[in-house]
Structure 1
């Protein structure tokens, strides 16, 4: 690897005219100079393309592509294919980098496949960034996972790590060697991307420094607009993990457990957003849970309390949604009330 490797920053842009100046200016302001920025207009209906062309005319390191609307996954994939860099970084068009983001991440690169900084949930007013909270990061702060035994995925199941694609520096050779690309046509594609990249990565470094400001006040974000497609996409992520990995001897055990982790996420979502979803999607949910069921018999990957929880949730997932809703709870099993709930769910099997 070069002493100062080229970093390819991929920025998918869809109807982002309102936010582009702040995003692109944060790239241009980086104190690490060896970068290119691939800006892809994904069929925007506002002034996005015009703004991108204007920026690119001022800086040759800004490279503009345009296409018919294809969605976030396909746009990121085009960015990967177009990248000339040794390292790859995904930036959303409504977010902003700290001035030293690339310098921090590249300095920590060494021989890691992936390097992550801290993402700050933020609001933006009058060119001022207000920090609200942090996305989940390892409690150790600075830590490198060798990841020979799927330590990153296990840590995620135990205590949570944010399953996002952005604010991570990826070794391009690692992505190409493992044919890692985003699945087109779904929402919440980062859930699957996180699983697939962390499943095969070696030496994953987390850096205890803020490098990325994630805009939480964008009303156009998918996190602000709920529909059946959200739940269907979560289900498709689970189905792919089961079909492609849980039945593969190399990955079977951790993939089976992680599929239950995804069940926890989307069952919590379905219960919370039930009033916004159709009866048809709940029929799809019940069918998919039965067809994608994989037993967790055998080795415990997690702590005792979390192992009990995941096995219990896996059992509960075979029930009709009203029963799931009645008995569902979040891990870990750390109270008498939750122990009682575990026993009640076990009785459902009989």
Structure 2
């Protein structure tokens, strides 16, 4: 790897005329200079295209592509296909970088497939960043996972790591070698991307530097508007993990356990947002949970309490949604009350012939 490798910064753009200038300006002021910025207009209906073209006309390192509206996954994939750098970096068009983001990530490179900085959820007011909280990150701060035993995915199941695509430096040859692309036609695509990249990566590094500010005050964000499409996408992600990886000799165990982690996420979502979801989709959910069920067996990859919890939720997912609603709770199993709840579910399942 050369000393100052080219970094391809991929920015999907859709109806972000209010935010895109601040985003691009945060790239332009980077203290690391060997970058290209690939701006992709995904069929915007506002002035996004005109704004990003004005930046392209003034900065040779900026390239603009435009397409009909195909969604975030297809747009990021177009960025991957057109990237020339040794590294890839995804930046959302309503977020901004710290001035030293790219230099901090590149300088910490040690033959890693993926390097991640700290993402801070923030609001923006008159050019001022108002920091709210950091997205879930390893407690060690700077740490490297050899990842030959899927340590990153296991850590995610145990204590939580935020499964986002942005604010990570990816080796382009790692992405190309494994033919990794975002799944089109869904939302929450980062969940599947995170699983696949962390499944296949070696030497995953997290650094204790704040490199990325994630905007939480964008009312047009998908996280602010939820419904059937969100749950349908979660279901498809679970199905993809099971269908693509649970029959693979090396990945069977981790895929089966991680599919339960995804179940945990979308069951919590479905219960919380039940009033916004159709009865038809709830029926689809019940059928998918049964079709994707895989017994977890006796080989534990998690701590004792969490292993009990995951196995219990896996069995509970075979019940109808009303029953799941009644008994479900989120892990970690870190209190006596949650341990009691776990055994309460187990007792119910045994009483109903599902031991």
Question: Could you say whether these structures have the same fold, taking a TM-score greater than 0.5 normalized by the shorter chain as the test?
Answer: yes
1:335 Cα deviation (Å)? 3.5
1:333 Cα deviation (Å)? 2.7
1:10 Cα deviation (Å)? 0.2
1:233 match: secondary structure: helix
Residue 164 of structure 1 is matched in structure 2 by: 164
1:207 Cα deviation (Å)? 0.4
1:268-279 paired onto structure 2 within 5 Å? 268-279=268-279
**What are the superposed Cα offsets for residues 252-281 of structure 1, whole Å, 9 maximum, x if unpaired?**
001100000000000000111111111111
**2:143 is the counterpart of 1:125:** no
**2:99 is the counterpart of 1:99:** yes
Residue 317 of structure 1 is matched in structure 2 by: 317
**2:185 is the counterpart of 1:185:** yes
Contact 2:113 2:171 in 1 (8 A): yes
Distance 1:339 1:127 in 2: 47
Contact 2:159 2:332 in 1 (8 A): no
1:298 Cα deviation (Å)? 2.6
**2:216 is the counterpart of 1:213:** no
1:47-62 paired onto structure 2 within 5 Å? 47-62=47-62
**What are the superposed Cα offsets for residues 41-67 of structure 1, whole Å, 9 maximum, x if unpaired?**
000000010001111111010100000
**What are the superposed Cα offsets for residues 90-118 of structure 1, whole Å, 9 maximum, x if unpaired?**
00000000000000000011200000000
Residue 235 of structure 1 is matched in structure 2 by: 235
**What are the superposed Cα offsets for residues 171-218 of structure 1, whole Å, 9 maximum, x if unpaired?**
000000001100000000000000000001000010001000000000
Residue 139 of structure 1 is matched in structure 2 by: 139
Task: Provide TM-score, normalisation by structure 1.
Answer: 0.99
Distance 1:88 1:334 in 2: 38
Task: Provide TM-score, normalisation by structure 2.
Answer: 0.97
Residue 338 of structure 2 is matched in structure 1 by: 338
Distance 2:267 2:128 in 1: 37
1:58 match: secondary structure: coil
1:227 Cα deviation (Å)? 1.0
Distance 2:20 2:341 in 1: 49
Residue 292 of structure 1 is matched in structure 2 by: 292
2:57 match: secondary structure: helix
Distance 1:343 1:12 in 2: 46
Residue 109 of structure 1 is matched in structure 2 by: 109
Name the count of aligned residue pairs. Answer: 350
Contact 1:315 1:345 in 2 (8 A): no
Residue 197 of structure 2 is matched in structure 1 by: 197
1:340 Cα deviation (Å)? 3.1
Distance 2:34 2:264 in 1: 41
Distance 2:157 2:286 in 1: 23
1:229-268 paired onto structure 2 within 5 Å? 229-268=229-268
| Structure 1: gaps spanning 5 or more residues | none
Distance 1:282 1:132 in 2: 34
Residue 280 of structure 1 is matched in structure 2 by: 280
